[in-house]
Amino acid sequence: MKRLAVVVQRYAEEISGGAERHARMVAELLARQHHVEVLTSCALEYTRWTSHFPPGADEVGGVVVRRFAHPLRNDIGRARVPLIHKLRFMARRLLRLLPAPLVLAPSGDAHFDGLEFLRRQGPHCQGLLDHLDASHERYDAVIFFNALYEPAAIGIQRWGRRSILVPLLHDEKPMYQPVFHTVFRAAGAILFNTAAERRLAARMYGLDAGHEPLAGVGVDMSAPAPDEVAAVLQRRGLMPGYFVYVGRIEVAKGCDTMVRAFLPLAARDPSLRLVLVGQSVMELPAHPQIVLTGFVSEADRDALIAGAAALVIPSRYESLSLVLLEAMLLHTPVIANGDCEVLADHLRDSGCGRAYTGVGQLRQAMQAMAELTPSERERLGRQGAAYVLQHYTWDRILAVYEAAIERVTALPSKPAALASSG
C-alpha cells in the first residue's frame, strides 16, 4: 500500500465533468488499494474561485480531502497571456508551422514565463504549495491533474520526480508559455488520455513522449432499460430522435455554433429538438425547440443520452471527452468538432459518428443523423460500444496507474525545479 496524494484545482461530488470528475474517479478507485489524500481548493465554481467549502480536512466519497484557502480571481487581477505566446498559438493553429516547437526558455520574468498568469488565473493556493514542500516524507507519490492550473503546474515543480502528471492538454494559448516546458519535464511520469494528446505534447514541447503510456478513464456504466428511457422522455415532454449536448453551456465550448447550426433545421422540421443538459453561462435564444434541462441526475442524464439521435460535442478543446465515451457505450451516435484532434481520432477509430469543421458541416451532420434509419443508428451504436470496451476499461487503466506509481516511487524525491508563484 502506497501513500498517495492527488492534486486537482476543484474537488466535489457536485462537479459532474471535466478534469475534476476524472480526478475523483481515479482517487476513489486508487483508495481501494492505497492511502489516498486529495489536495485542492475551497472552490466549487471556476469563474471567480469563490470559496464554497471551508479550508481544512473534508471527506468526499470515502476519500480524505484537504482544502486550502485562496483569493478570489477578482482580488488578484486578470490573467493575461503575453502577446508573443498568443502569436505562437495562432501560427501553429493556422499554419501548422514547423515539426518541432519554438522553445522559449524561462526568462526570470514572471509575466513572460507564465507564472503570473497561473497565479492570477486561480486558484492560487499558497497553502497547498507549502503543504507539498513539507510533505516529502508524508507521500510516496503525488498525482497532478490538469497542467493548466497553478496547483498542478507549480505544485509538480515544488514536489519533484516522484510525481505523475495527468496533463489534460489542449492546444490553447496559455499552454504556449515557457513555464509549461518546465512543467512537463518535471514529472516522473506522464499519463496521457489519448494518442492525439501525446502527439500534441511532442509538437508543443519537443517531448520524446512516445514511451509514455496511454491511460484515460474507465467507462463502466449500465445502460438504462428502454422503459426507463421512455419514462424520462415522457416526463420531460420529449420524443426519441432529438440532439443532446451535455456539459457547460458556453461560447468557449462551441455551443453558440451548435445553436446556429440547429436553428435552420428546426425551422424546417418542427419535431426536432436540441436538448442542453447542464448549466448555461451564455445567452440562449428563447425557442420552443431548444430545451434547457439544467443539472439532472446521472440516471436522467444517461436516459437523455440514450434516447437521442446523436450526442453533439462542439468543443475544439478536449483531451479525452468522457461524455463521448459514455454516449458510445449507450449506443448513441456522436457528432463532434473535427478541429479537435482527440475527437476526430475517436470518431475515425470507432466509426460511431461524424466529425465536422464549421457550422455548415455541423448542420449537414445533424441533418444526416436525424435521417438515419433505426438499423443504421444501431450499427453506429454497436461500433462505438465495441471501441469503448476495447480501450476504456478500468482494469486496463488502473494497471497503467499502478505501473506509473511503482516507477515514480523508486525515483529521488528532490524537486526537478523550484518554482515560485509569488
Tell me the mean pLDDT in the region 27-33.
96
Tell me the mean pLDDT in the region 355-369.
97
Q: Is the pLDDT of residue 365 over 50?
A: yes
Q: Could you tell me which of 383, 154, 331 has the C-alpha nearest to residue 226?
A: 331
Q: How far is CA 347 from CA 340, 355, 357, in A?
A: 11, 7, 13
The reported pLDDT for the residue numbered 301 is 94
Q: How far is CA 394 from CA 93, 218, 220, 347, 388, in A?
A: 34, 4, 8, 21, 11
Q: Is the pLDDT of residue 422 over 60?
A: no
pLDDT band at 353 (very low <50, low <70, confident <90, very high): very high
pLDDT band at 322 (very low <50, low <70, confident <90, very high): confident
The reported pLDDT for the residue numbered 100 is 47
SS3 call for 304: helix
Question: Order of strands across the sheet with 310-313?
Answer: 290-294, 274-277, 243-246, 310-313, 334-337, 353-356
The reported pLDDT for the residue numbered 235 is 95
| Residue tagged 471556476 (cell numbers) | 46
Q: Is the pLDDT of residue 99 over 60?
A: no
The reported pLDDT for the residue numbered 48 is 87
| Residue tagged 463521448 (cell numbers) | 324
What angle is formed at CA 33 by the lines to CA 32 and CA 34, rounded to 5 degrees? Answer: 105
The reported pLDDT for the residue numbered 272 is 97
Q: Is the pLDDT of residue 225 over 70?
A: yes
For 3-216+395-409, the fitting CATH number among 3.40.50.920, 3.40.50.2000, 2.120.10.10, 3.30.2320.80 is 3.40.50.2000
Tell me the mean pLDDT in the region 302-326.
93
The reported pLDDT for the residue numbered 47 is 83
Amino acid, res. 347: L
Class of domain 226-392: alpha beta
Q: Could you tell me which of 88, 338, 332 has the C-alpha nearest to residue 196?
A: 338
pLDDT in tens, 243-297: 999 998 999 899 999 999 999 999 999 999 999 999 898 999 999 999 999 989 9
pLDDT in tens, 154-212: 999 999 999 999 999 988 888 989 899 999 999 999 999 988 899 889 888 888 877 88
Measure the CA–CA gap between 179 and 401, rounded to whole angstroms: 26
The reported pLDDT for the residue numbered 102 is 53
Work out the mean pLDDT of the chain and round it to a whole number. 90
pLDDT-wise least confident of 44-48, 58-62, 107-111? 107-111
Q: Could you tell me which of 32, 57, 36 has the C-alpha nearest to residue 127?
A: 57
pLDDT band at 311 (very low <50, low <70, confident <90, very high): very high
Q: Do 3-216+395-409 and 226-392 come out as alike in CATH topology?
A: yes
| Residue tagged 415532454 (cell numbers) | 237
More confident residue, 350 or 85: 350
pLDDT-wise least confident of 97-111, 118-132, 298-312? 97-111
Measure the CA–CA gap between 5 and 159, rounded to whole angstroms: 11
Domain boundaries along the sequence of the chain: 3-216+395-409, 226-392
Tell me the mean pLDDT in the region 85-91.
69
Measure the CA–CA gap between 38 and 5, rounded to whole angstroms: 6
Measured distance between the N- and C-terminal CA atoms of the chain, rounded to whole angstroms: 35
Contacts of 383 (CB under 8 A, 6+ apart): 350, 351, 352
pLDDT band at 304 (very low <50, low <70, confident <90, very high): very high
Measure the CA–CA gap between 358 and 257, rounded to whole angstroms: 8
Measure the CA–CA gap between 178 and 197, rounded to whole angstroms: 19
pLDDT in tens, 134-170: 999 999 999 999 999 999 999 999 999 999 999 999 8
The reported pLDDT for the residue numbered 97 is 46
